[in-house]
Amino acid sequence: MNTQVAIIGAGPSGLLLGQLLHKAGIDTVVLERQSPDYVLGRIRAGVLEQGTVDLLREAGVGERMDREGLVHEGVELLVGGRRQRLDLKALTGGKTVMVYGQTEVTRDLMQAREASGASIIYCASNVQLHELKGERPYVTFEKDGQVQRLDCDYIAGCDGFHGVSRKSIPEGVLKEYERVYPFGWLGMLSDTPPVNHELIYAHHERGFSLCSQRSQTRSRYYLQVPLGEQVEDWPDERFWNELKARLPEDVAQRLVTGPALEKSIAPLRSLVVEPMQYGHLFLVGDAAHIVPPTGAKGLNLAASDVNYLYRILLKVYHEGRTDLLAHYSPLALRRVWKGERFSWFMTQLLHDFGAHKDAWDQKMQEADREYFLSSPAGLVNIAENYVGLPYEEVV
Ligand code: APR
Ligand code: PHB
């Protein structure tokens, strides 16, 4: 088998890159380890920056998002019982975010791939990357017990944090930057109307909580929990009671409870590897960086990488600009680090670190909350990062 760009992984990164390249007449093959149902079973965040929304539209997959997604012009931060609405639109000169689940983004992209007839191979096992530094890289994999070979010009490693792409880079090449946090998020999805028409990020001495949503009838709530906590220890009633205890009286009273459709716990961590290129391999999205979910940046940073790699490959194939390939990693990383900074900052600002922060750091955290939520400059700072910083041009 032969293609121009081999894409490893059919998460949002791989599918979006594949769709954009296909529309531009560049041939791709997507190799995914799991089945489509498995990929669609993963529940993840759902806040899209304007740049992500625009890129999905450019890829031709914006129709259902534009119909069913909810445009949010603001978000609420709740600290010490005080509610502070961030008017995103007013604070950023007209920018908003779109609430539309990552699962739905993935579903739309999968359907578009299917309709385009472009090649996608699910349940591909033992994917291995070869000759990354050579002129003719190739990928081998197993499908239905047969070993197959895919020759290509470039490989896009879109296979997430646990994928094979990053691990294919020889030891000593990548520098890893990591921060782990002493807690996780327990998430719950339920068919109940959201407690508020906008998202609420709440700091509380019992721990952080987030009131999010997927639609007018489906809610997504999160609780900060200590590491080591098990989902089984959190029957629905305990979850709802704890959420109410972390919200102000009037909000708690409005909360509509119901059975959980899904519950899961994810530890929080920040991680970046540099560089995001090794020879003909380019790392994209979670394969190169992880953020804690507090800033809603995971999917948006993946889209940002896709944006840069797509625009570079366009110029490579249409204008012969192979010199641009070396720009991918520095360009992508500049924006990645700003997203990492914001996710780290929001995590620091809103969580309870207990004994993990000393008295000084706790005071700094309090001062940050006071300052950022009362100063117009502080509010603009959070708002412009939340809606997403602009992309640089690829020239
Ligand atoms: N071979 C083929 N496919 C693989 C392999 C492998 N060895 N390893 C992993 N994959 C697949 C996974 O099954 C998954 O479908 O790669 C895909 C990676 O998808 P994601 O983990 O969703 O990563 P990405 O597409 O970069 O999306 C980033 O996802 O995790 C969230 O917060 C993150 O929202 C962000 C988004
Ligand atoms: C979600 O809806 O799942 C969500 C929203 C905002 C976040 C994190 C998760 O910051």
Amino acid at residue number 60: G
Q: Identify whether 258 is part of a domain.
A: no
> Cα(71)–Cα(95) distance, rounded to whole angstroms?
10
DSSP 241-293: HHHHHTS-HHHHHHPPP--EEEEEEEEEEEEEEE-SEETTEEE-GGGTEE--G
* Strand residues in the chain grouped as ranges (E): 5-8, 28-31, 47-48, 70-72, 74-79, 82-87, 97-99, 119-121, 125-130, 138-143, 146-151, 154-157, 175-190, 200-203, 209-213, 219-226, 260-274, 277-278, 281-283, 289-290
First to last CA, the chain: 33
Looking at residue 171, its pLDDT comes to: 96
Domain extent at residue 333: 5-69+98-177+269-355
The count of domains in the chain is: 1
Q: Identify whether 260 is part of a domain.
A: no
How high is the mean pLDDT in each 10-residue block of the chain (395 residues)? 98 98 98 96 89 98 96 95 93 97 96 97 98 96 97 98 97 97 97 97 96 94 96 97 96 97 96 98 98 96 98 98 98 98 97 93 94 95 98 94
| Residue nearest atom 3 in ligand 2 by C-alpha distance | 45
| Residue nearest atom 1 in ligand 2 by C-alpha distance | 45
Catalytic annotation, pick one of 95, 203, 289, 297: 297
Q: Which of 159, 220, 308 to mutate to test the pocket of ligand 1 (most atoms within 8 A of CB)?
A: 159
Q: Identify whether 13 is part of a domain.
A: yes
> Cα(112)–Cα(355) distance, rounded to whole angstroms?
49
The β-bridge relationship of strands 74-79 and 200-203 is parallel
Q: Identify whether 20 is part of a domain.
A: yes
Q: Identify whether 32 is part of a domain.
A: yes
Which CATH number is 309's domain given? 3.50.50.60
Looking at residue 15, its pLDDT comes to: 98
> Cα(152)–Cα(139) distance, rounded to whole angstroms?
8
Q: Identify whether 34 is part of a domain.
A: yes
Q: How many CB atoms lie within 10 A of CB 230?
A: 9
Concerning whether 328 is annotated as a catalytic residue, the answer is no
Looking at residue 44, its pLDDT comes to: 83
Q: Identify whether 232 is part of a domain.
A: no
Q: Identify whether 167 is part of a domain.
A: yes
